[in-house]
Structure 1
Amino acid sequence: MFTIGITGGIGTGKSAAAHVLKNWGIPVLDADAVSHQVTAVGGAAIPEIVATFGSTVISDTGELDRDAVADLVFHDRKSLDTLSFIVHRHVIATMHADREKLIEAGKKICVFDVPIPLKDGFLDSCDFILVITADLRTRLQRLQARGLPEEKARQRMAVQLSEQDYASMADALIDNSSTLEDLREHLRAALEPVLTVRGININYDKNE
């Protein structure tokens, strides 16, 4: 199966790019959605999290307590890294299992939509990586439109990979600083030659 990876920093519009590919009929496996799945009540990661941390990061309802996790960011970086490793491993395992189901169903292509592009399970599992970019002003405007103050938006950007780090892993850089139509055109220009040579036909005119 030909696997496209999509990644990019906060506010670049990575989700919008993934949505375009989904509209084109390409199955999208969303790491954020899977992360919530494996840390929900009864999720695959919960037993290992409890075995490692006890109940300190588990809510009364049995799911991951994201407020407690936020505290870890400021008070215990080592524990946060351990927790992130556990969740990441379960997310990747689930995404790979979901990809196997797509293969069994006869699909030829899928997308891994991943905000944090670690090597193990993502970079080494994708055949072609799209890095979504946008200029700083556009990113800040998008984040402020979501209700995130500029100062906090800049803080979140600062702890993510740099633009150079993202660019170093890209097979194609997709500028998403403009309109949705421009985004579609950039994605098509990057993917059509790669997919056509592999005999994978996509309806690029299908948009919702």
Structure 2
Amino acid sequence: MRVLGLTGGIGSGKSTAAAVLAGMGVPVVDADQVARRLQQRGAPGWRRVRELFGWPVLRADGELDRPRLARWIFTDPQQRARLDAALHPLIGAAIREDLQELEAHGADTAVLVAPLLFESGLDRLCRQVWVVEAPFALILERLRARGLAEADARARMAAQMAPAERRRRAQLVIPNGGSREELAARVQAAWQRFQEDAR
């Protein structure tokens, strides 16, 4: 099965691009959704996080306090590295299982959308990697609209791979500085080329 990797920094629009592809009937595996599944109360990722950081990262109902954990790890690179080392193998294994299940059900192509595609080594699963990019000021505006304080938004952006390095490692860069319709048109055109290259 051919796997197309889709990545980009926070607020870049990669999830919107993935939604465009899903709307075209393309199977999508979302690494963030896989991570959330693995971090539900009692799941393997939840147990790893609890072992690493203890009860302070849990809410009263036992679920992970994700906003609190995010604020912590995005201001402490060492703790973020510990968390990544604990979770990336679990997430990677679950993603491989999801892709194998899609293939077993007849899918010949799938999209893997992951913010840490390169950092986690998941790009090795992909025939091509596309990067969605947006201007810095627009990303800040989007993150503020989500309720993130500017300092938190900047911390998350600073913790990610540099845009230039993503561009260097990708086969295609999709600019996303305009409307959703403009992004959709670029994604659809890129998908058509990707399909034609496979023939």
Which TM bucket (shorter chain)?
Answer: 0.7 to 0.9
1:103 aligned residue: 103
Structure 1 residues 135 and 72, CA gap change in structure 2 (3 angstroms): closer
Secondary structure in 1 matching 2:174: strand
Are the structure 2 counterparts of residues 96 and 25 from structure 1 closer, same or farther at C-alpha, using a change threshold of 3 Å? same
Shift of 1:76: 5.6
Alignment partner, residue 165 of structure 1: 165
- After TM superposition, the structure 1 stretch with the greater mean CA deviation from structure 2, 156-165 or 15-24, is 156-165
1:35 is the counterpart of 2:46: no
CA distance in 2, matches of 1:35, 1:146: 20
Task: Judge which range, 185-194 or 92-101, deviates more.
Answer: 185-194
- Give the drift of 1:52: 4.5
Gaps of 5+ in 2: none
Change (3 A) 1:150 1:82: closer
Does residue 188 of structure 2 align to residue 188 of structure 1? yes
Structure 1, residues 76-118: CA drift from partner, whole Å, max 9, x if none?
Answer: 6434322222122211111110111000000011111101123
C-alpha RMSD of matched pairs (Å): 2.3
1:46 aligns with 2:41: no
Aligned amino acid, residue 73 of structure 2: V
Q: Which range moves more in the overlay, 168-177 or 80-89? A: 80-89
**How far is 1:68 from its partner?**
5.0
TM-score (normalizing by structure 1): 0.84
**Which residue of structure 2 lines up, in the alignment, with residue 26 of structure 1?**
26
Distance across 2 between alignment mates of 1:73 and 1:110: 31
Can you list the C-alpha shifts for 1:39-98, whole angstroms capped at 9, x where unaligned?
111212233444445545344433333355246437864343222221222111111101
- Cα offset, 1:151, TM superposition: 4.0
| 1:19-168 equivalences in 2 (<5 Å) | 19-67=19-67, 69-70=69-70, 72-73=72-73, 77-168=77-168
- Runs of 5+ unmatched residues, structure 1: 200-208
1:53 and 1:179, CA in 2 relative to 1: closer, same or farther beyond 3 A? closer
Contact residue 56 and residue 68 of structure 1 kept, 8 A = no
Amino acid corresponding to residue 34 of structure 2 in structure 1? V
Counterparts of 1:2-13 in structure 2, within 5 Å, are 2-13=2-13
Q: Per the alignment, do residues 46 and 140 of structure 1 end up closer, same or farther by CA in structure 2, a change over 3 Å counting?
A: closer
Q: Percent identity?
A: 33
Aligned length: 199
One-letter code of the match for 1:21? L
- Structure 2 counterpart of 1:166, which letter? R
Q: Secondary structure at the match of 1:131?
A: strand
| Closer/same/farther in 2, CA of residues 187 and 112 from structure 1, 3 Å limit | same
Does the C-alpha gap of structure 1 residues 65 and 8 become closer, same or farther in structure 2, counting only changes over 3 Å? Answer: same
Question: Highest CA radius of gyration, 1 or 2?
Answer: 1
